[in-house]
Amino acid sequence: MLIDTYGRVATDLRVSLTDRCNLRCTYCMPEEGLQWLAKPDLLTDDEIVRLIDIAVRVLGIEEVRFTGGEPLLRPGLVGIVERVAALTPRPRMSLTTNGIGLKRMATALKAAGLDRVNVSLDTLRPDVFKTLTRRDRHKDVLEGLEAARAADLTPVKVNSVLMPALNDNEAPDLLAWAVEHDYELRFIEQMPLDAQHGWKRDGMVTAGDILTSLRTRFDLTPEGRDERGSAPAERWIVDGGPHRVGVIASVTRPFCSACDRTRLTADGQVRTCLFAREETDLRAALRSGAPDEEIARIWRLAMWGKKAGAGLDDPSFVQPDRPMSAIGG
């Protein structure tokens, strides 16, 4: 079990498979990209599967989410999914992707054992997509979403970040489109995880702003705390159902007290929180020949020291050194 001093138990593992990405989203990294991790620093496929096996078999992890960077860029992705699906007990598996390449890989990922996907899409307008991501790939994302639904990687969830003066007026259009295509839409407040440290609380599009905008066109009924559980998204029933929309208010309504996550970076570091400034090295233990029990002990110790919250409401908050692309979403 992975428990901390506040009684929270981690059952959800986020695994970053690569720090590389084929988009350059303005809220994540600079236009010229970043200095990528050297290949020897990355966990190998075997190392990733071994750590997930320890997490599932020894530490009580029930769900694994593969992230990046962009996880579809990981050459061994399908094989990793297939091997994790064969673990006992078998964890639920999902993947967060920008959708580029999903049209080509959706069927193979489903056959390997992947259960569902989250796809990032912030706008319905190709010109705005190009401005936000600095790439002209909007059509590829839409086709990837369609392929995921056809492959039964469901529910297909769509993650959207709204940015002032760019797409902040698109919330109702995005929800109407998601309902039409049977996707579950989730809006995420922009978080201070950009490589250029340009995030500012003033002017950000808040959960309150998003809900106010949605209610100009839709009737939203709160789903209720019992339904939410430890999920980060507060959800609302749209026009009486069955469709739902979620809002992840990481900044204005943090959900740290119910957090059930532990995170593994592409270079083998345990992070107890997206906003943590400390990491615990598992790669060194792996490569020094440590047995599973020792790796589990290090992991437990790291999680025991998890802080009460992210500290975003603290005026002295300092943004993490690693951007989102390097630690997974």
pTM score = 0.90
- Is residue 323 over pLDDT 70? no
For residue 120, the cross-strand partners are: 159
Question: Packing angle between helix 102-112 and helix 138-150, nearest 10 degrees?
Answer: 30
Domain positions in the chain = 2-326
Q: Is 69 annotated as a binding residue?
A: yes
Q: Is 217 annotated as a binding residue?
A: no
150-169 mean pLDDT: 95
Q: Is 90 annotated as a binding residue?
A: no
2-326, superfamily in CATH? Aldolase class I (3.20.20.70)
Collapse the DSSP code of 292 into the 3-class scheme (helix H, G, I; strand E, B; otherwise coil) and give the result. helix
Q: Is 157 annotated as a binding residue?
A: yes
Collapse the DSSP code of 259 into the 3-class scheme (helix H, G, I; strand E, B; otherwise coil) and give the result. coil
Q: Is 97 annotated as a binding residue?
A: no
Collapse the DSSP code of 256 into the 3-class scheme (helix H, G, I; strand E, B; otherwise coil) and give the result. helix
Amino acid identity, position 126: P
- DSSP symbol at 203: T
Per-residue pLDDT band for 28 (boundaries 50, 70, 90) equals: confident
Q: Is 191 annotated as a binding residue?
A: yes
Q: Would you state the pLDDT for residue 147?
A: 98
- Range of weakest confidence among 82-86, 151-155, 165-169, 323-327: 323-327
pLDDT in tens, 97-146: 999 999 999 999 999 999 999 999 999 999 999 999 999 999 999 999 99
CB 242 within 8 A of CB 179: no
Per-residue pLDDT band for 181 (boundaries 50, 70, 90) equals: very high
Q: Is 123 annotated as a binding residue?
A: no
- Is residue 69 over pLDDT 50? yes
Q: Is 120 annotated as a binding residue?
A: yes
Q: Is 256 annotated as a binding residue?
A: yes
Q: Would you state the pLDDT for residue 230?
A: 64
- Is residue 35 over pLDDT 90? no
Q: Is 322 annotated as a binding residue?
A: no
pLDDT in tens, 287-316: 999 999 999 999 999 999 999 876 555 555
pLDDT in tens, 186-221: 999 887 654 445 546 666 899 999 999 999 999 999
Where are any strands of DSSP class E within 53-211? 63-67, 92-97, 116-120, 157-160, 184-188
Q: Is 300 annotated as a binding residue?
A: no
Q: Is 201 annotated as a binding residue?
A: no
Q: Is 1 annotated as a binding residue?
A: no
